[in-house]
């Protein structure tokens, strides 16, 4: 049984440990063995401490024997993205300059998982400073896409998504500033939840200063799983409040909206043409949701172009005006090229006043979307409008960099508007996964996950997958 536990989702692992079908040590050992087998090729996990994980598993098993109260993730192996603080581990965030950036305390959302019984088996790879849709850096190297090593696993949480897809851990944490939970989910064929701001507490003691307002609003913590039920299990855990995050809100997880209901199906968000491989996945999702009783209407939400411009102005503006001066001299050549491209992508005539204006315009767009949600309580559409791109394609030229952002227009708009979104696989086409995102109004994460479960209940699992 030990060799096969790595194939199970977190819900099944937790149930097996609780019932005594197998121990936490067996579950952790199984995932560590899988890590040893596939990570040399994938490079999804950059640091693992097997002895510590096994010792924690033994403690978890003793609690079961003693009849202690068990948390919902008791004994379940997880991985933690290397830009989230974990006490006693360095928050390297893809940069050699941060290899000694030791965390003295654990980020609230990660501590919530540990308090629920989860056991960390490793840290997942990121690009430098987690600001690319790719996962490679000059210190730890590149993470492979388990479906095709020639393609990106997405970023910046590509290591986390790849580890889940390949069976290294059933759950992996990540962050999302402009798609970093959803883009890797599409690339690797796994489920994810990007909460809205205020749902999951956020704080890193290793941050040298408070982030800018745009980063505070747009960046959130979430996680990947191989099943929607794992997201439904883990989100309430991760969402427990913490005084260190003033943005956290005690809003109930259940929003009271009855299911099923009307859904806006976005087959083409505009801009660059959507690929047939991606669009057919969205069409499939619409059919599956219709089968489940949802009312489907093809319609595009309002002001997408303006939402994209708002995200680009605020987020790239803060990267260029704050992050670039701080790290420009210590980052590697890939990151330096990335920062050059971001500078060139800023709107014509950009100034810090442009960001102030973008924040003001943002409220008007939020109002338009709030009205849209009155008629369409959920939106279903693509993550990226193209399949995963080839390694480092985002750095080939300014044109390709612009193309990547334009392809993610629906995705980054959701960050600009601070909305929740779940991803769920709908199938495989052309040897690559098809994944859609389900978007709702603020604090409707469980509504999004309910629709994701309605899709998942009608399709066969596509992971774990052996690296190719």
Q: Which two tokens stand for residue 91?
A: 């928050």
Q: Which of 24, 124, 156, 444 is an active site residue?
A: 156
Pairing of strands 262-265, 295-298: parallel
Contacts by 399-405, CB closer than 8 A, 24 or more apart: 401/338, 401/341, 401/342, 401/345, 402/345, 403/272, 404/133, 405/308, 405/312, 405/345
Q: Which two tokens stand for residue 135?
A: 């996962």
Backbone angles phi, psi at 444, to 5 degrees: -115, 30
Quickly tell me which residue has 């769920």 as its tokens. 424
Inter-residue contact 303 to 97 (CB < 8 Å): no
Q: Which of 48, 79, 81, 157 is an active site residue?
A: 81
Report the candidate in 118, 244, 200 with the shortest Cα–Cα distance to residue 420.
Answer: 200
List, in sequence order, the alpha helices (H) in 43-103: 50-65
Count of CB atoms situated within 10 Å of the CB of 19: 9
**3-state DSSP assignment of residue 71:** coil
Planar angle of CA 175, 468, 95, nearest 5 degrees = 35
Can you say whether the dihedral through the CA atoms of 441, 444, 449, 450 is positive or negative?
A: negative
Q: CA of 251: how far to CAs of 173, 227, 347, in Å?
A: 22, 25, 36
Q: Is 163 a catalytic residue?
A: no
Quickly tell me which residue has 């929607």 as its tokens. 228
Q: Which two tokens stand for residue 333?
A: 């050549």
Q: Which of 29, 30, 163, 180 is an active site residue?
A: 180
Q: Is 81 a catalytic residue?
A: yes
388 alpha carbon, distance to own chain's centre: 15
Residues classed as catalytic:
81, 156, 180
């Amino acid at each position: 049984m030990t060799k096969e536990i790595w194939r199970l989702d977190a819900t099944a692992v937790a149930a097996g440990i609780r019932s005594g079908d197998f121990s936490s040590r067996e579950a952790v050992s199984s995932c560590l063995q899988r890590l040893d087998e596939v990570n040399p090729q994938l490079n999804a996990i950059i640091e693992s401490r097997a002895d510590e994980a096994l010792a924690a598993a033994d403690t978890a098993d003793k609690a079961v024997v003693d009849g202690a109260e068990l948390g919902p993730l008791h004994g379940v192996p997880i991985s933690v993205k290397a830009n989230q603080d974990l006490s006693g581990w360095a928050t390297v965030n893809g940069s050699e300059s941060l290899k000694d950036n030791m965390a003295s305390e654990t980020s609230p959302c990660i501590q919530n998982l540990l308090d629920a019984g989860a056991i960390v088996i490793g840290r997942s790879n990121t690009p430098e400073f987690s600001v690319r849709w790719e996962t490679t850096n000059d210190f730890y190297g590149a993470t492979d896409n388990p479906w095709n090593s020639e393609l990106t696993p997405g970023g910046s949480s590509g290591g986390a998504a790849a580890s889940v897809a390949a069976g290294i851990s059933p759950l992996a944490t990540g962050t999302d500033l402009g798609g970093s939970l959803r883009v890797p989910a599409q690339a690797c064929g796994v489920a994810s939840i990007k909460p809205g701001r205020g749902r999951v507490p956020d704080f890193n003691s290793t941050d040298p200063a408070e982030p800018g307002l745009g980063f505070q609003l747009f960046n959130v913590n979430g996680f990947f799983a191989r099943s929607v039920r794992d997201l439904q299990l883990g989100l309430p855990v991760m969402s427990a409040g913490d005084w260190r995050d003033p943005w956290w809100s005690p809003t109930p997880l259940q929003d009271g909206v009855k299911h099923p209901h009307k859904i806006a199906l976005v087959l083409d968000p505009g801009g660059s043409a959507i690929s047939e491989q991606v669009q057919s996945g969205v069409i499939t999702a619409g059919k599956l949701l219709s089968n489940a009783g949802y009312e489907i209407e093809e319609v595009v939400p309002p002001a997408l172009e303006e939402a994209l411009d708002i995200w680009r102005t605020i987020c790239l503006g803060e990267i260029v005006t704050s992050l670039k001066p701080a790290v420009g001299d210590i980052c590697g050549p890939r990151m330096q090229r990335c920062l050059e491209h971001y500078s060139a992508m800023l709107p014509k005539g950009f100034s810090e006043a442009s960001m102030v204006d973008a924040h003001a315009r943002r409220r008007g767009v939020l109002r338009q979307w709030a009205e849209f949600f009155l008629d369409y309580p959920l939106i279903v559409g693509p993550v990226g409008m193209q399949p995963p791109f080839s390694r480092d394609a985002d750095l080939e030229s300014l044109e390709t960099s612009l193309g990547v952002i334009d392809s993610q227009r629906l995705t980054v708009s959701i960050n600009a508007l601070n909305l929740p979104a779940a991803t769920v696989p709908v199938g495989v086409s052309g040897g690559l996964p098809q994944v859609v995102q389900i978007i709702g109004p603020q604090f409707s994460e469980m509504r999004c996950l309910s629709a994701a479960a309605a899709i998942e209940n009608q399709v066969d699992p596509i992971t774990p997958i052996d690296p190719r």
